[in-house]
């Protein structure tokens, strides 16, 4: 039956390929699809983790979240703000730096690329702890630099005016290298003849970028946009580490949806509600991905 | 003949081996989980001695970060894959008691508990007259104050009430030339996630008769801070931050600030004595009971306990090891090396007192000092965490200082949310 999908190929080869892929498909079903389906199912129950007994409650969990749940509302607003700001900032920065590096033909470009990529390979928890120290009001490097300009100490994480932006800054630092690599690959994939032709026609740097590079980078931009949005909407460890302890960021000020899901499931043992929130998050990310896809694909794809 | 002799010897050897196998105790492995990694050296020492005395027993100790340990207990116990023995706080233990995942302590252990522990430590693990855990260590808040700073400000005795506490803080606070706070007069818990902010806030509620939640009838609770006690406590924080500027968001807090000399005084659990000894051994500081209020002098009481889950296959060995852990030798080691105070009575700590007299001061607490255990409600974490989040927001609002109407409105909204949490777990009653 499934051979139907691969017309023109040798049947025996296709059978072998599918058989070889079966274990991976099996694992994918068990480790990916089944938990997602189970999450959908549990979202309609009052499952609590700690008690083996639970029952079907219909849409109750969804109605609670969408009607009067302050934590959900705050988390949703924070997550949207967080995802929007990080996505815009990180993509703009990554694109600009990569483009600048590509144009300048810097000698030690490998070293620069490694420096930018280094934060990506460092685990989130240790790097978040290091940043927590950098944000320290007394001994942190940020306040130390500000002191040269006569600016007093700032509680970067503790002060509600700065806490969200402090975490965003950390996240930009952490993700920048990853998106730079993506853009780098995209830029290298643009045939040199297009660039040369545009230059011969007298295109300025801005026009070259606007009318040649950006349109040719559309698939890469779409991929980066989707990835950054998903990463922004599902951020957890960065917020978790930054809110642990008495010197940490205030709870609700930086609470995101994934953090709220964690709190509901593992601190309050309201796993039914947590699953409902996870389903809502899934739908939001799915919806945004579809919209972004349509927007970016609008017009010609090269 | 030779053949017969050989067969006889062979049979004797087989019989001896068979008998020795029958009479030798079967190997037993006890897995122990704790959410307090700093206590592990003591548990390891006890386990090593216990294994020497009981060669068939192996004790495997796994420490986890506190919140992580609670999640592991919550997930593994219902699945029957939990440890044979674990240590957790009394309020968290009640989640398992209520969900019938624990058995009461056996008669032998109960008898031993009655002889060796005071009722308050057993009461927090008791449900319907049955005890479910052996108390390990306990903590309660006390006031820590820097004696050098007190001397510098001309203060000779610790404060007795809230007015004195604020007056002292105002004398002790220090600013630089530009008016930036460089030493807080008092370090308050004003930020961070989790339930900690509300728990620390309670030391300012208790003295005036308030608490985040209070028991009403057995198994039922209600919010108890939308009242005068709540107003006084919250306004104290706001005055400290905005009116008298003795604390700030822009300075370090908690024990870290204390050992670094960045605060003059603060309330914290007894374990800080051990921390100061380790991190700032030469520090000249005093301790006192937290200040009293119009109603009482009271502090919180958090007791950790050893629990053997119902699914444990070697309950006798697990309970036996718990009793072994309570030998003087290990309890003294716990106080001396880690700084936690164990709950068993009649332990000779004189050796520790010589090197660290603060512990004696802590244990010789006055008769009138009331110790209020954290409520055993299943809603505890959710109610306290949600109220903490609200508090953190209001601490940042300077317009609230001395504004009774706004403060009461905030407290009433908070109390409603806490009561809603209790109601959703069927734990609310007026």
What domains appear along chain A, each with residue ranges and CATH number?
2-42 (no CATH), 60-300 (1.10.3720.10)
Q: Does the CB of A51 have a partner CB in chain B at under 8 Å? A: yes
> What span, in angstroms and rounded, lies between the C-alpha atoms of A76 and A261?
11
Instruction: Please give the mean pLDDT across all residues of chain A.
Output: 87
> What span, in angstroms and rounded, lies between the C-alpha atoms of B278 and B298?
28
pLDDT at A119: 92
A211's tokens: 């009318």
Are B247 and B186 a contacting pair, CB within 8 Å?
A: yes
Q: Closest residue of B to A268, CA-based? A: B382
Interface test with A, best of B68, B80, B193 (most A CBs within 10 A): B193
pLDDT at A238: 86
pLDDT tier for residue B239 given thresholds of 50, 70 and 90? very high
Task: Report the range of poorest mean pLDDT among B78-82, B218-222, B373-377, B390-394.
Answer: B78-82
pLDDT tier for residue A292 given thresholds of 50, 70 and 90? confident
Instruction: Give me the phi and psi of A50, to 5 degrees please.
Output: -75, -20
Tell me if residue A177 falls in helix, strand or coil: helix
Chain B hits for A155, CB-CB cut-off 8 Å, are 191, 248-251
> What span, in angstroms and rounded, lies between the C-alpha atoms of B340 and B120?
18
Binary contact (A50, B96; C-beta < 8 A): yes
Cα dihedral B316, B322, B328, B331, rounded to 10, equals 180
> What span, in angstroms and rounded, lies between the C-alpha atoms of B104 and A33?
41
Side-chain half-sphere CA neighbours of A216 within 13 A: 17
pTM of this structure: 0.83
B28's tokens: 């037993």
> Looking at the predicted structure, is the pLDDT value of residue A230 above 80?
yes
ipTM over 0.85: no
B165's tokens: 């506490």
Which residues, in sequence order, are bridge partners of residue B285?
B146
pLDDT at B234: 97
List the single residue in A71, A155, A160 with the smallest CB-CB distance to B250: A155
Residues 6 or more apart from A280 whose CB is under 8 A from it? A62, A65, A66, A257
Are A298 and A289 a contacting pair, CB within 8 Å?
A: no
Q: Does the CB of B417 have a partner CB in chain A at under 8 Å? A: yes
List the single residue in B192, B250, B393 with the smallest CB-CB distance to A245: B192
pLDDT at B278: 86
pLDDT at B408: 97
Binary contact (A250, B193; C-beta < 8 A): yes
Mean pLDDT of A231-250: 78
Chain A hits for B388, CB-CB cut-off 8 Å, are 251
Instruction: Find how far residue A194's CA is from the centre of its chain.
Output: 32
> What span, in angstroms and rounded, lies between the C-alpha atoms of B272 and B187?
14
Q: Give helix A218-233 / helix A271-297 axis angle, nearest 10°.
A: 160
Q: Does the CB of B3 have a partner CB in chain A at under 8 Å? A: no
């Amino acid at each position: 039956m499934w051979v139907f999908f691969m017309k023109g190929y040798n049947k025996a080869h296709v059978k072998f390929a599918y058989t070889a892929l079966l274990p991976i498909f099996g694992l994918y079903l068990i480790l990916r699809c089944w938990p997602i389906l189970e999450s959908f199912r549990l979202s309609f129950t009052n499952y609590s983790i700690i008690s083996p007994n639970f029952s079907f409650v219909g849409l109750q969990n969804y109605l609670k979240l969408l009607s009067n749940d302050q934590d959900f509302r705050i988390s949703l607003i924070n997550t949207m703000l967080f995802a929007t700001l990080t996505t815009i900032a990180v993509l703009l920065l990554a694109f600009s730096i990569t483009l600048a590096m590509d144009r300048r033909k810097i000698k030690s470009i490998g070293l620069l690329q490694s420096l930018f990529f280094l934060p990506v390979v460092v685990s989130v928890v240790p790097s978040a702890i290091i940043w927590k120290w950098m944000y320290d009001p007394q001994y942190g490097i940020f306040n130390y630099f500000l002191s040269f300009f006569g600016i007093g100490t700032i509680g970067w994480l503790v002060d509600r005016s700065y806490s969200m932006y402090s975490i965003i800054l950390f996240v930009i630092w952490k993700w920048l290298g990853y998106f730079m690599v993506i853009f780098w690959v995209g830029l290298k994939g643009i045939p040199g003849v297009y660039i040369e032709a545009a230059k011969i026609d007298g295109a300025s740097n801005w026009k070259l970028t606007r009318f040649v590079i950006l349109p040719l980078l559309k698939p890469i931009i779409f991929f980066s946009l989707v990835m950054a949005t998903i990463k922004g909407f599902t951020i957890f460890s960065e917020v978790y580490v930054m809110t642990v302890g008495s010197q940490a960021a205030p709870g609700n000020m930086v609470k995101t949806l994934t953090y709220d899901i964690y709190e509901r499931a593992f601190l309050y043992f309201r796993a039914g509600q947590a699953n409902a929130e996870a389903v809502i998050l899934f739908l939001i990310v799915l919806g945004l991905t579809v919209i972004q896809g349509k927007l970016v694909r609008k017009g010609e794809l090269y | 003949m030779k053949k017969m002799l050989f067969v006889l010897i062979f049979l004797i050897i087989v019989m001896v081996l068979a008998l020795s196998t029958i009479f030798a105790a079967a190997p037993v492995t006890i897995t122990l989980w704790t959410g307090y990694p700093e206590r592990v050296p003591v548990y390891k020492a006890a386990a090593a001695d216990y294994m020497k005395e009981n060669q068939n027993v192996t004790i495997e100790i796994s420490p986890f970060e506190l919140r992580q340990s609670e999640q592991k207990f919550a997930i593994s116990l219902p699945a029957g894959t939990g440890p044979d023995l674990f240590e957790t706080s009394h309020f968290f233990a009640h989640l398992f008691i209520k969900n019938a995942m624990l058995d009461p302590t056996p008669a032998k252990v109960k008898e031993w508990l009655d002889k060796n522990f005071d009722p308050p430590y057993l009461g927090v693990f008791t449900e319907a007259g049955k005890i479910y855990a052996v108390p390990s260590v306990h903590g309660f808040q006390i006031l820590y104050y820097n004696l050098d700073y007190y001397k510098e400000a001309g203060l000779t005795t610790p404060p007795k009430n809230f007015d004195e506490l604020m007056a002292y803080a105002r004398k002790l606070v220090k600013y630089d030339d530009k008016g930036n706070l460089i030493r807080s007069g008092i370090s308050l818990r004003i930020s961070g996630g989790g339930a900690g902010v509300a728990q620390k806030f309670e030391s300012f509620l208790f003295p005036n008769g308030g608490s985040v939640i209070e028991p009403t009838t057995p198994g039922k609770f209600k919010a108890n801070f939308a009242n005068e006690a709540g107003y006084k406590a919250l306004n104290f924080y706001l005055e400290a931050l905005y009116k008298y500027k003795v604390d700030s968001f822009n300075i370090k807090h908690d024990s870290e600030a204390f050992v670094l000399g960045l605060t003059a005084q603060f309330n914290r659990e007894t374990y800080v004595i051990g921390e100061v000894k380790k991190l700032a051994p030469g520090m000249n500081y005093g301790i006192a009971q937290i200040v009293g209020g119009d109603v009482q002098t009271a502090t919180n009481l958090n007791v950790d306990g050893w629990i053997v889950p119902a699914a444990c296959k070697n309950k006798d060995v697990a309970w036996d090891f718990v009793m072994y852990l309570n030998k003087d030798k290990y309890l003294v080691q716990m106080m001396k090396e880690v700084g936690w105070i164990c709950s068993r009575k009649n332990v000779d700590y004189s050796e520790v007192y010589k090197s660290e007299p603060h512990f004696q001061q802590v244990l010789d607490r006055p008769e009138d000092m009331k110790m209020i255990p954290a409520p055993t409600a299943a809603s505890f974490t959710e109610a306290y965490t949600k109220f903490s989040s609200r508090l953190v927001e209001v601490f940042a609002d300077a317009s609230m200082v001395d504004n009774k109407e706004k403060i009461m409105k905030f407290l009433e909204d908070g109390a409603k949310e806490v009561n809603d949490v209790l109601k959703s777990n069927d734990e609310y009653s007026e």
